[in-house]
Amino acid sequence: MKKFSITIAGGGSTFTPGIVLMLLDNLDKFPIGEIKFFDNDEDRQATIAGATEVILQEKAPDISFTATTDPKTAFSNTDFVMAHIRSGKYAMREKDEKIPLKHGCVGQETCGPGGIAYGMRSIGDVLELIDFMDEYSPDAWFLNYSNPAAIVAEATRKLRPNSNILNICDMPIGIEELMANAIGLNSRKEMEVRYYGLNHFGWWTDIRDKEGNDLLPQIREHVSKFGYVTKDESLQHSDASWNSTFAKAKDVQALDPETVPNTYLKYYFYPDYEVAKSNPDYTRANEVMDGREKFVFGECQKIIDEGTAKNSELHIDEHASYIVDLARAIAYNTKERMLLIVENNGAISNFEPTAMVEVPCLVGSQGPEPLTQGEIPRFQKGLMEQQVAVEKLVVEAFEEGSYQKLWQALTLSKIVPSAQVAKDLLEDLIEANKDYWPELK
């Protein structure tokens, strides 16, 4: 079997070690000959790369490994680019969360004003990575799971329409694992789902086992009582903010009890509740910096210092195995059924054709084939039309350097209460992002 060359864009990410361990755990399904890290922060990447070198030496010494800040080295002769970058790192995420809270709005990294600010930073950086791939390995595939995925996906559709790009999000996968556990299944892979929406903005409408038995009534009942909280503590998040999110899904589902929802809808349906319970001085970004960030970098440094990973507490990012499923689908034409973010083009028959929607697709060597979801109800359609307009305006604002369109995007966001609040927010966000955003006129 061919051994693939993988470029991980975002080599300094706290998610990188878990993904590397997951790739090593799946070498029988997806053989790898080379792993390359690319990051624009050499010092940050060096710690993750140093630990990775030790891990590879112990687990897979035949795999060639390079960590670089040079695009040509990173992107030449590669088969897949796996991209999980964070433009501005956690310092800017903290501003994405705290600036909206100062204005009485939800402070969240992918939703509302925070997501718009993050999107304006991410678009240019993701496009640059795609251009590196297209220049040095034009036949490679770009597997993007960088946030905010909805805005980034719209930017890739509009601004790089001919590149080989797949946009995917791990949130539905994580939720499906909780669903499976709640009804006594071993894995989400025992379920086949129908789902539609936008990224972080969707609904499951049908869930069956492989024999075709309807599992949705059981799952709906569980969510209506407990949200996505399950008895299996190993599946619950170590951070309190996430467990609160899983529990809140109960109230989100109440808006449409026939379906089960993506957890992120809570920010759009209950923004007042979210703002009231937020601490404007200590947000999710602070939780991550004090938690996962310190843990991962501490463990990596320990591996480097000890020269072995045998005592490491770094663990395989199990649910990131979807990345292997996606790469295998392209490499081996497996026709794996997966939720991807794709151009609608009739998959949702009564919705904007150019919207980037999240729906089940069959994935093969030519990319994704979206499965038709038919017409969607007025409630979801209205919400999605408002949200997709926000995403498109953000991309247009980036492309045109338009202050007006970014103000319109913020005003249109369901999370922002008025055009005046949107304008005040925009002024603060421009100041905070002056080193990252294009100049707006």
Rounded-to-integer distance, Cα 275 and Cα 3, Å: 49
Query: Is 300 part of any known ligand binding site?
Result: no
Whether 264 sits among the annotated catalytic residues: the reply is yes
Look up tokens 């969707």; give the residue: 202
Q: At 288, list the tokens.
A: 């991550």
Rounded-to-integer distance, Cα 392 and Cα 344, Å: 14
Residue (of 137, 77, 162, 127) closest to 367 by Cα position: 162
Sign of the CA dihedral running 413, 418, 422, 425: negative
What spatial distance separates the first Cα and last Cα of the chain, rounded to whole Å? 53
Whether 196 sits among the annotated catalytic residues: the reply is no
Give the list of residues 6+ apart from residue 241 with CB closer than 8 angstroms, or none: 284, 287
Catalytic entry in 170, 256, 424, 428 = 170
Query: Is 433 part of any known ligand binding site?
Result: no
Give the list of residues 6+ apart from residue 427 with CB closer than 8 angstroms, or none: none
Query: Is 111 part of any known ligand binding site?
Result: no
Catalytic entry in 118, 145, 264, 268 = 264
Rounded-to-integer distance, Cα 352 and Cα 194, Å: 19
Residue (of 156, 165, 157, 155) closest to 398 by Cα position: 155
Rounded-to-integer distance, Cα 134 and Cα 80, Å: 12
Catalytic sites, residue numbers: 170, 264
What residues are designated binding site for substrate? 93, 147, 284
What residues are designated binding site? 93, 147, 169, 200, 284
